[in-house]
C-alpha cells in the first residue's frame, strides 16, 4: 500500500517555535515555568509539559497572583497590558508570539497612534484577535460576517486601518473588504492572513483527491483539523478523523491502493510518524 504524508501536516512554523521555546525553558531549568494559556490545543503535548513541571495559567487573575517565575506567551500573542503586568511583577518573560502575529500588533499600535481607526476582520472570541485588539490605543471594531461589514459605520470619518486574524479565510476577507470599500471611507487594507493554513488545506485537498483512504489527525476541539476533515471528506468518502494512533482502526484501511495522511496545526510529528508506520505495516 502506498502512503502519502502531507508536507504541511502538523505544526506550522509559529506553533513549532512556541513549543520548542517551552521545552528550552525546561532544559534550562528556569522553574517555576508557566504558559499563559495552553501552549497548543493538543492534550498530549500539554500533559507531557505538565509532567515536566510546566503549569498552565488559565486566567489573568492567576497571572496576577504569581510572585516569581518564567511566563511563556504562546504563538497567538496577547494584549499589551499583559506584557506590562509581567514587567510590573518582575517575572521572566519568554515571548513565543508568532512573528506574523507580532507584525499585526506593531501595525495596530502604530496606526492607532497615528489616529486611524482599527478594524479587525476575525473571530472576536479568539485569543489572537483579543490580543491584537489590545495593541490599539483607540477603540477597535471587529467583524467576521458580511452582515457586520454592511452595518459597519465610521462616524468620525477618520482613516480606517483594516487588518485580519492570521487564520481568516482569504476569500471571505476580500469579500468583507469589498463591502467596506463601497462605503467610500479613507481605508488602508493590510492583508495579514498567514499562508500556512491555506497551504495545508490545499495540499490536503490534492492528496485526498488521489487517495483511496484519508486520515486526518488532530485534537477534537481543533477547528483547523475539523476544517481539514471536511475538505478531505468532500474529495474522499473514506476519510477518518483520529486524535492519536489508538483511534485508528487498521482493519478499516484498504489492503491495497493509496492512503493519505494530513494533520492539524497542533499535531506533533511523533503522532504523525506513528500513524504513518501503522499504515505501512
Taking CB atoms, the residue at the shortest distance from ligand F3S is 14
Backbone φ and ψ for 168, nearest 5 degrees, come out as -70, 150
- How many residues at the interface with ligand F3S, by CB under 6 A? 13
Residue number, 167 or 239, with CB nearest to ligand F3S: 167
Cell of 233: 471528506
Backbone φ/ψ region at 10: left (φ over 0), alpha (ψ -120 to 50), beta? left
Is 100 near ligand F3S (CB under 6 A)?
yes
Per CB under 6 A, 170 contacts ligand F3S: no
- To the nearest whole angstrom, how small is the minimum distance from the Cβ of residue 274 to ligand F3S? 23
- Least Å from the CB of residue 201 to ligand F3S: 12
Question: If we measure between CA atoms, which residue out of 134, 56, 68, 141 comes closest to residue 101?
Answer: 134
Whole-angstrom distance, CA of residue 218 vs CA of residue 271: 9
Is residue 236 within 8 A of residue 194, CB to CB? The reply is no
Out of 6, 101, 142, 263, which residue is the one contacting ligand F3S (CB under 6 A)? 101
Q: Which stretch binds ligand F3S (CB under 6 A): 46-54, 97-105, 139-147, 157-165?
A: 97-105
Q: How far is the CB of 2 from ligand F3S (least distance, A)?
A: 29
Q: Are 128 and 165 in contact (CB under 8 A)?
A: yes
Window 56-75: residues binding ligand F3S (CB under 6 A): 75
Among 42, 70, 166, 238, binds ligand F3S (CB under 6 A): 166
Residue closest to 201 by CA, chosen among 217, 224, 175: 224
Contact letters (x/-) for ligand F3S, 9-48, by CB under 6 A? ---xxxx---------------------------------
Answer yes or no whether residue 267 interacts with ligand F3S by CB under 6 A. no
Q: What residues are annotated to the active site? A: 128
201 binds ligand F3S (CB under 6 A): no
Q: Which of 8, 165, 169, 197 binds ligand F3S (CB under 6 A)?
A: 197
Radius of gyration of the chain (CA): 21
CB of 194 to ligand F3S, least distance (A): 3
Q: Which is nearer to ligand F3S, 131 or 134 (CB)?
A: 131
CA atoms of 272 and 155, how far apart (whole Å): 51
CA quadruple 149, 150, 156, 159: dihedral sign? positive
Minimum distance, C-beta of residue 104 to ligand F3S, in the bound complex (Å): 9
**Contacts with 213 (C-beta within 8 Å, 6 or more apart), sequence order:** 236, 238, 239, 240, 252, 253, 254, 257, 258, 259, 260
Residues that bind ligand F3S (CB under 6 A): 12-15, 75, 98, 100-101, 166-167, 194, 196-197
Amino acid at each position: 500500500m502506498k502512503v502519502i504524508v502531507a508536507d504541511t501536516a502538523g505544526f506550522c512554523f509559529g506553533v513549532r517555535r512556541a513549543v520548542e521555546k517551552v521545552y528550552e525553558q525546561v532544559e534550562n531549568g528556569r522553574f517555576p515555568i508557566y504558559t499563559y494559556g495552553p501552549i497548543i490545543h493538543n492534550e498530549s503535548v500539554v500533559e507531557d509539559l505538565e509532567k515536566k513541571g510546566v503549569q498552565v495559567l488559565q486566567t489573568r487573575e492567576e497571572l496576577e497572583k504569581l510572585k516569581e517565575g518564567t511566563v511563556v506567551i504562546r504563538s497567538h500573542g496577547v494584549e499589551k497590558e499583559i506584557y506590562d503586568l509581567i514587567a510590573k511583577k518582575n517575572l521572566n518573560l519568554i515571548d513565543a508570539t508568532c512573528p506574523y502575529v507580532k507584525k499585526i500588533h506593531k501595525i495596530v499600535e502604530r496606526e492607532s497612534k497615528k489616529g486611524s481607526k482599527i478594524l479587525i476582520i476575525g473571530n472576536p472570541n479568539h485569543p489572537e484577535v483579543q490580543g491584537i485588539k489590545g495593541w490599539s490605543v483607540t477603540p477597535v471594531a471587529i467583524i467576521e460576517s458580511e452582515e457586520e461589514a454592511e452595518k459597519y459605520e465610521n462616524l468620525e470619518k477618520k482613516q480606517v486601518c483594516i487588518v485580519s486574524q492570521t487564520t481568516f479565510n482569504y476569500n471571505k476577507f476580500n469579500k468583507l473588504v469589498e463591502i467596506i470599500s463601497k462605503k467610500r471611507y479613507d481605508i488602508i487594507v493590510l492583508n495579514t492572513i498567514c499562508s500556512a493554513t491555506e497551504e495545508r488545506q490545499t495540499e490536503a485537498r490534492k492528496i485526498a483527491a488521489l487517495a483511496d483512504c484519508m486520515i486526518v489527525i488532530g485534537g477534537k476541539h481543533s477547528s483547523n483539523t475539523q476544517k481539514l476533515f471536511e475538505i478531505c471528506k468532500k474529495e474522499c468518502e473514506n476519510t477518518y478523523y483520529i486524535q492519536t494512533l489508538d483511534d485508528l482502526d487498521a482493519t478499516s484501511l484498504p489492503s491495497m491502493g493509496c492512503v493519505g495522511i494530513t494533520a492539524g496545526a497542533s499535531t506533533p510529528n511523533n503522532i504523525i510518524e506513528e500513524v504513518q508506520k501503522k499504515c505501512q505495516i
